[in-house]
Chains A and B, each alone.
Chain A
Amino acid sequence: MHELAIARDLIDMTRRHVPEERLAQVEVVRLRVGSLAGVVESSLLFCFEALVRGTALDSARLEIDAIPIRARCADCQTDFELPGSLFQCPDCGGGALALLSGNELDLQEIVLADLAPEAT
């Protein structure tokens, strides 16, 4: 349940990046989560919703882009996506891999709705 701590930090970050008077306009908080980050998507969504409920961010929705594990083989320089947790080059069988992606846990962007035009 470290997803609760992650959701808490995510909301703190959102509050730092959006002026307080515009928090209610936040529609989407978009996150990039790598397969190696050890985050359970449904738990994170649940925690996020629980923490924003009744706050200025009540209408904010968390969207998660899942990032696969990609690596480059040091022996044959092939780039590839890892199928599971076998850290092995599919071409030459080498095990010396540099990870290109998979550890992400990044707040990518925050989408705000436009203000409703003021009634005249």
Chain B
Amino acid sequence: MSVITIERRVLEKNDELAQLNRRNLGLAGVHCLNLLSSPGAGKTALLEASLSRLGDSLRLAVIEGDVQTDLDAQRVARYGVPVVQLVTNGACHLEARLVGDALREIDLRSIDLLVIENVGNLVCPAGFDLGENEKVVVASVTEGDDKPLKYPAMFRNASALVINKIDLLPYVPCDLGTLRANALAVNPGLEVFELSSLTGVGLDAWCAWLLRHGGK
């Protein structure tokens, strides 16, 4: 019997490609966010509301990741920003290679901030570095207040949490204080935003954060 000792990350190929993406984005002076949530938490609606509010104050591009269809890209394109749709054809997460392909379709010199909207999933995308500078998790109040404890890997590695759909709080059994406390128990460094993409409440603070992180 002989043993070959390896001790290397299984996803090292993805990690290398992610580093390459990060370097290319950095050279072009682009800040990149990886936007994550369960399906239906409102990632695309948050992007639409943010784009509408930010107007020309931030030069933004979007990469949309979905299992099927370019419906999200169509929604975002209405705001006149560059958007690339990635269709994973069944895969539950985006990988750095796909994002690298998408980067070639975007004029990075003409943007400040790139938002990658990942496939809706609170588990699988956590392990796949895409080359982003920061992860942002969106949790909606309709999902309940226990999700940070159930999906700690996703919340632990994010810099910001957007709690969406707070206009629905009167109708759902979700305690905002508990949700916030659970998220901060998993990750005390999280910046938390409470907002509704639909009504616009709370969007100002979130958009100010985007502007700051886009170097404005």
Q: A: which residues have CB within 8 A of B? A: 1-2, 5-6, 9-10, 12-13, 17-18, 27, 31, 36-39, 84-88, 95-96, 103, 105-114
Contacts and interface: CB of A to CB of B under 8 A. Distances in A.
Interface in B107-154: 123-128, 148-150, 152-153
Interface stretch (B23-31, B71-79, B166-174, B179-187): B179-187
A9 B4 contact: no
Contacts of A27: 1
B92 A2 contact: yes
A100 B5 CA distance: 22
A35 to B, nearest CB: 9
B40 interface: no
Interface size classification for chain B:
35 or more
A84 B128 CA distance: 23
A107 B10 contact: yes
A38 B153 contact: yes
A117 to B, nearest CB: 14
B149 A85 contact: yes
B1 A112 contact: yes
| Interface residues of chain B: helix, strand, loop or mixed (majority) | mixed
B91 interface: yes
Nearest to A36: B153
B7 interface: yes
Interface of B: 1-14, 91-93, 95, 123-128, 148-150, 152-153, 156, 184-188
Contacts of A88: 185
21 contacts: A5-B91, A5-B128, A6-B11, A9-B11, A9-B14, A10-B10, A36-B156, A38-B153, A39-B127, A85-B149, A87-B152, A87-B187, A95-B184, A106-B9, A109-B4, A109-B7, A110-B3, A112-B1, A112-B2, A113-B1, A114-B2
Contact of B10 (A6, A38, A85, A112): A6
Contacts of A39: 127
A109 B186 contact: no
A85 B186 contact: yes
